[in-house]
Structure 1
Amino acid sequence: MTPALPHAALQFIEAALVAGDMALPFHYPRAEQWEGWQSCFRYNGRTGESLVAATPGAWQPGWYVIALNGFDDPFFIDLGEEAQGFPVYYAPLGAGRWDAQQAAPSLQRFGEMLAVLCGIGDDDAAALRWIEAEVGLATALWREVFETRQQRSTEPPDPPAPPPDPAAWQHGTLVITAIGPQKLKVVQFLKQALELSPQEALAMAAQGDIVVADGYLAHLRSTQARLQALGATVEFRLDENGP
């Protein structure tokens, strides 16, 4: 039977602070999920067999999960450490043993740390300064957070977007001026694109200039390219008075 959720832990999971760093808490249980979240840590989710033991490297009797990071690594507290304010521990999943490292000296402090990072947001330079000054790099967890932010801050910025093409937003008419050597394929295209009968498509193909569509060039370029690929000569004729 899982003990009642301590009030300090309830406040922490209800705050559900997500700073955006994958190594830090990303997922939180709701209060009614507290027991279910211990599956695979305190007990086997299929058989119900206890996974708790007091031996080194095992999941210890007092440990209870309060959050998972973006890699599903657990953050947990020891219910026997209420007098210390519930220090928060972290251990990587899949290591074959549970070697807890302290993420914060108390639940309250951990919440404060996450709140600061939430406020900093994507300002990696500010986050790096704060981690160095206020947290330190003594644990693998905070080194990972620091190094990930550091790497991100030194990545070259995305190249600027190309300037918009004013010509793309000119309004006009797409006209076939010469049907080309693949007449039947062009007729088939006209039949499908304009929802014509075979007779109507053939009659249209016999015209001198064939109006295919009107609109903005940006919207007509794909049609123009398909007709040109079929060998037709296609012009975009600007409207004299705009759309």
Structure 2
Amino acid sequence: MQIPNLIRNFIRKRIVSECILLPFFYPEEGEFESFQEGYRLVSRKTGEELADDAPGQWRKSWQVIARNGMDDPFFVDFALGGGASPVYFAYHGAGSWEPIKVADDIVKFEEILTALAALEAPCSLEAIAPLTDLNNEFYRELADDYARENEARAEPEHKYFSVFIKDLGADKVKTLVFLKKIFDDESFAATKDRAQNLPLCVFNGIEELALPIQYKLASLGVKFHAREITFSELIARHG
């Protein structure tokens, strides 16, 4: 696939800020197609597509250029030329893809990200307002995140959860694609082998990150359960 130079240059800069809502993951060099797995593609190797141009589905011409810390995608429409396309954002696990325009083009998006990365959170809405449109759903949430009080950021009172799946749901392929991304398995076969042992723990961590995974599993029709754990248990499991 031919990637427009403006998009390629944007990816190479890998602009990352403190905010979990902004781009954090970028495609590695030569891995742009693999980065589309779970969105446009089931698997790069097979070329099987998830895309469908029906309303609410992922369009065939949409290409993911970055993901935030919650695995929500930022993407452009290659049917519009890629570099000239507006940049869109969408929440995953919502049951359908509802694009939110976050910049008129990739150049403007890069300018916004560079300016936001220079800010130190928490900061006032006055500092963010000139950079973004606060009537935009995405930027309203972003502004709230940047404007949180010092105490809330300095000493968060986290709850910790483990999430286990009991089956693979009605569409096993989509579930396996999701699991491959969670575990960062090298191959689809490795994920299939892992999924033979159910129930399978798919997450250990803070509640804020456990919830999106539960939403996604629910949208896939996967049976699961979440159990609150102590911080000591979390450390032991990661160890």
Distance in 1 of aligned mates of 2:134 and 2:26: 25
> Do the aligned partners of residues 72 and 109 (structure 1) sit closer, same or farther apart at CA in structure 2, a change above 3 Å counting?
same
The amino acid across from 2:13 in the alignment is A
Distance in 1 of aligned mates of 2:115 and 2:85: 20
Residue among 135, 138, 141 paired with 1:144: 141
CA displacement 1:49-71 (0-9 Å, x = unmatched):
31111111011121000000000
What secondary structure does 2:3 align onto? coil
Give the corresponding residue for 1:52: 51
> Do the aligned partners of residues 81 and 48 (structure 1) sit closer, same or farther apart at CA in structure 2, a change above 3 Å counting?
closer
Residue among 106, 124, 129 paired with 1:132: 129
**TM-score, structure 2 length as denominator?**
0.59
Residues 78 and 87, structure 1, Cα contact 8 Å, conserved in 2: yes
What secondary structure does 2:118 align onto? helix
Alpha-carbon RMSD across the aligned residues, in angstroms, is 2.2
Give the corresponding residue for 2:15: 17
Residues 43 and 50, structure 1, Cα contact 8 Å, conserved in 2: yes
Give the corresponding residue for 1:76: 75
- Larger Rg, first or second structure (1 or 2): 1
> Do the aligned partners of residues 156 and 71 (structure 1) sit closer, same or farther apart at CA in structure 2, a change above 3 Å counting?
closer
Q: Which has the higher helix share?
A: 1
Distance in 1 of aligned mates of 2:137 and 2:23: 15
Identity among equivalent positions (%) equals 32
Residues 122 and 148, structure 2, Cα contact 8 Å, conserved in 1: no
The amino acid across from 1:122 in the alignment is A
Give the corresponding residue for 1:238: none
Residues 5 and 31, structure 1, Cα contact 8 Å, conserved in 2: no
CA displacement 1:180-233 (0-9 Å, x = unmatched):
xxxxxxxxxxxxxxxxxxxxxxxxxxxxxxxxxxxxxxxxxxxxxxxxxxxxxx
What is the aligned residue count? 154
Per mean C-alpha deviation after superposition, the further-off stretch among 66-75 and 81-90 is 81-90
Give the corresponding residue for 1:35: 33
Residues 19 and 121, structure 1, Cα contact 8 Å, conserved in 2: no
Per mean C-alpha deviation after superposition, the further-off stretch among 44-53 and 92-101 is 44-53
Distance in 1 of aligned mates of 2:139 and 2:146: 11
Distance in 2 of aligned mates of 1:83 and 1:57: 21
Offset at 1:100?
0.5
What secondary structure does 1:33 align onto? coil
Gaps of 5+ in 1: 159-243
Offset at 1:83?
8.0
Q: Do structure 1's residue 4 and structure 2's residue 7 form an aligned pair? A: no
Distance in 2 of aligned mates of 1:156 and 1:146: 14
